Structure 1
Amino acid sequence: MSTQAAPTPDALPSPWPIVARAVALLTAIISVLLIAFAWPSVRSSVHHVPIAVAGPTAAVKQVTAALGQRLPDAFEITEVADTAAAEQLIRDREVYGAIDVSSGTAQVITASAASAAVAQTLHSVATALSQAQAQGTSTAVAVRDLVPLPADDPRGAGLAAGGLPLVMGGLLAALLLTRLVRGTTRRVTAALAFAITGGLAVAAILQFWLGSLNGSYLANTSAIALTIAATSLTILGLESLLGYAGFGLGAATMMLVGNPLSGTSTAPEMLPGWSGTFGQLLPPGAGGQLLRSTAFFDGHGATHSVSVLVTWLALGVVLCLASGLRTRRTATVADTAERPAAHATV
């Protein structure tokens, strides 16, 4: 007579409450992902975008009033006397574009390399500005792109799409190094080495193959490498100090918060509310703005981004060192506790 073995606990079906909790958790996760990536895009609009208006005071006031009536709170306007001053502000990344009425005929000066979305917005209001300048008569407006995107990538698709691989590269670096490399110094060294090699590779692909970047290859490489290093070392430091919880915290910060709020595909000022400003305080946003500066503006406007990235990089190194010191202290205490026991046994 054969007997059937009793099922082990692992083979038993999960209780229904556990199934319900798993479904609820998955629902929460997909909702958070949707909010993180869709909310900034759906709520994107023009608000407080810095531009310049050049020309005589009376004409500038007229243009400013027309802008305020058509798009309230859309622009932060800097008044300048002439075309040269407006162009200098654009090249220094102080403003995204300019309305020039210094010659008596309205001219729109854009910088699609700073933000194709803002340049498109300035195109759309050009007719209204010309009508205001010409007192209601329909006049064609000259639009000039002072700092254009590369001819091989006129929409800036490569630069916009390049933000996610940088974040993913930092995440994968932290994940692999914690699994494959032992020792705090070796992990930090490996992360920095990967940032350099990854920067060289990504910059080469974007600049020489896809044609998405201009400027100095070494400067672009440095911007990308600094972004990768800041991301990977921060996550590596959190993981080394807090374990899986630290890795999850770092991954969520960079992937679910930093990447959607980076403003790389549009402009930080076009994101809803405070999110654009906050996104520039995280590595993905700061890295995207730094790469625009090195690729198209000879490094102008890069100070804030470099400061943010260096701060995150330093934080990651400090966290790694703190974890290493804690590990050494724990090992020393354990060794000290074992010695009396060994003497007692003898």
Structure 2
Amino acid sequence: MPASSASSAPTAPEPGGTTPSSAAPPGGPRLVIRLTGVIIGLTAAITLMLCAFGLPTANGGPHHAPLGVTGPESAVTAVQEQLPGDEWEVTVHDNPQALTEAIENRDTVGGLVFAEDGVTVYTATAGGQQIGAAISGLGTTLAERQHVPVTVHDLVPFPEDDPRGTGLASAALPMVFGGMLPAVVLLQLFPGHAGRRVRLAGVVAFALAAGAAVTAVLQFGIGTLDGDYWTTSLGLALGMAALAIPFLGLESLLGYAGFGAGSVVMMFLGNPLSGLASGPYWLPDGWSTLGQLLPPGASGSLLRANAFYDGTGAGGPALVLAVWVLAGLALMCVADRRHRRKTGASPTA
């Protein structure tokens, strides 16, 4: 009985009024530092999002866009002197035929033909609708100054079913999520080092299937695309793989922190800087260059080349996407090698 009474006796409180079994309430300097870090991080993320989406739009306009002109020397010289050099890079062509070939070969984004009876404007709306509108406005202004009529010819238009290219602009987010979504799902279904090959095979299979499906919707459902179906679908598949495989590599090497960092970059930088709706020349120079080096921008340029220009200019963006795929595979190889070292050093693992 004395033992029983001793065991049931309450524990004497320690100095300060707390018992040994009671947990200390959260607080103190560590909590303040942690909360401050979270607030600063969230504020930085919101600011980055605003800058990535807002600054390129606010500063949108022609930026060193290649513009072709032809006509009498006096008229061409006057145009070169009037146009600001930071907006247009003027190239003189011998005749209208050479100018139209340059536009169809994607050497220029549009052109102006000057003659005594009027001004002829050549645009390529499918290459960038806003740039095409800017060139049309420029030609109209110059024609009004000379008191002559203006004629506009769209050499590379969108298909009749989608003359404004709304389907192309709406494809930006599906292309980005087409790289993120399969990586997330496969990482959950086949986790760990043992599932790495299954995840890679799943990403490749998904990219091929999704590329074919998205192309079918855009080309046959909405009517936005006008090119070889299989070539366009393979290009979209390459773009999705160029997003998903680096995500797998980052997660294999750095865990979900690496995956999260890659997602932030692609969503907050790659998506708004892709130029899919406006064309790369509508963005400021530095933003445009960065956007074309990221998978969403390169994938959008490859899509334009395959869908509207019969593959002209597809080599550059395809190379960028291939480099991203190889980078993702390299990250996975490094993670695999690190895993082998760990298991070799610890046989019981």
Quick check: TM above 0.5?
Answer: yes
- Which sits farther off after the overlay, 280-289 or 238-247? 238-247
Question: Is 1:98 the counterpart of 2:111 in the alignment?
Answer: yes
Quote the offset at 1:271 in angstroms.
1.2
Question: Is 1:248 the counterpart of 2:260 in the alignment?
Answer: yes
Identify the residue that residue 175 of structure 1 maps to in structure 2: 184
The aligned runs of 1:235-314 (5 Å cut-off) are 235-314=247-326
The aligned runs of 1:80-95 (5 Å cut-off) are 80-95=93-108
- Inter-partner Cα distance in structure 1 for 2:100 and 2:233: 27
The aligned runs of 1:49-128 (5 Å cut-off) are 49-66=65-82, 68=83, 71-101=84-114, 105-128=118-141
Aligned residue pair count: 326
Amino acid at match of 1:128: T
- Which sits farther off after the overlay, 221-230 or 9-18? 9-18
| Identical residues among aligned pairs (%) | 39
Amino acid at match of 2:141: A
TM-score (norm 2): 0.86
- Inter-partner Cα distance in structure 2 for 1:260 and 1:86: 31
Of residues 39, 43, 64, the one that matches 1:48 is: 64
Quote the offset at 1:246 in angstroms.
1.3
**Cα offsets for 1:204-254 (capped at 9, x unmatched):** 111111111111111110111010000100111111111122112211221
Asked if the contact 2:200–2:245 (Cα under 8 Å) also holds between the matched residues in 1, the reply is yes
- Inter-partner Cα distance in structure 2 for 1:285 and 1:258: 7
Q: Match of 2:127, SS?
A: coil
- Inter-partner Cα distance in structure 2 for 1:47 and 1:20: 40
Amino acid at match of 2:69: V
Q: Match of 2:346, SS?
A: helix
Amino acid at match of 1:83: P
- Inter-partner Cα distance in structure 1 for 2:277 and 2:95: 31
- Inter-partner Cα distance in structure 2 for 1:154 and 1:258: 26
- Inter-partner Cα distance in structure 2 for 1:249 and 1:111: 37
Question: Is 1:191 the counterpart of 2:203 in the alignment?
Answer: yes
- Inter-partner Cα distance in structure 1 for 2:126 and 2:111: 14
Quote the offset at 1:328 in angstroms.
2.3
Of residues 147, 170, 184, the one that matches 2:156 is: 147
**Cα offsets for 1:288-340 (capped at 9, x unmatched):** 011001110000011110110111111111111221222223222222xx59x
Identify the residue that residue 343 of structure 1 maps to in structure 2: none
- Inter-partner Cα distance in structure 2 for 1:318 and 1:244: 18
Asked if the contact 1:215–1:294 (Cα under 8 Å) also holds between the matched residues in 2, the reply is yes
- Inter-partner Cα distance in structure 1 for 2:76 and 2:200: 54
Quote the offset at 1:179 in angstroms.
1.9
- Inter-partner Cα distance in structure 1 for 2:22 and 2:32: 18
**Cα offsets for 1:92-126 (capped at 9, x unmatched):** 11111111126763100000000000011011112
Asked if the contact 1:110–1:146 (Cα under 8 Å) also holds between the matched residues in 2, the reply is yes
Larger Rg: 2
> Aligned pair in 2 of structure 1 residues 332, 18: CA closer, same or farther (>3 Å)?
closer
Asked if the contact 1:195–1:229 (Cα under 8 Å) also holds between the matched residues in 2, the reply is yes
- Inter-partner Cα distance in structure 1 for 2:24 and 2:312: 61
Asked if the contact 1:82–1:102 (Cα under 8 Å) also holds between the matched residues in 2, the reply is no
Unmatched runs of 5 consecutive residues or more in structure 2: 1-9, 11-18
**Cα offsets for 1:144-171 (capped at 9, x unmatched):** 1111012222221111120111111211
Q: Match of 2:147, SS?
A: coil
Of residues 162, 173, 179, the one that matches 2:171 is: 162
Quote the offset at 1:137 in angstroms.
3.7
Question: Is 1:37 the counterpart of 2:53 in the alignment?
Answer: yes
Amino acid at match of 2:54: A
- Inter-partner Cα distance in structure 1 for 2:275 and 2:146: 37
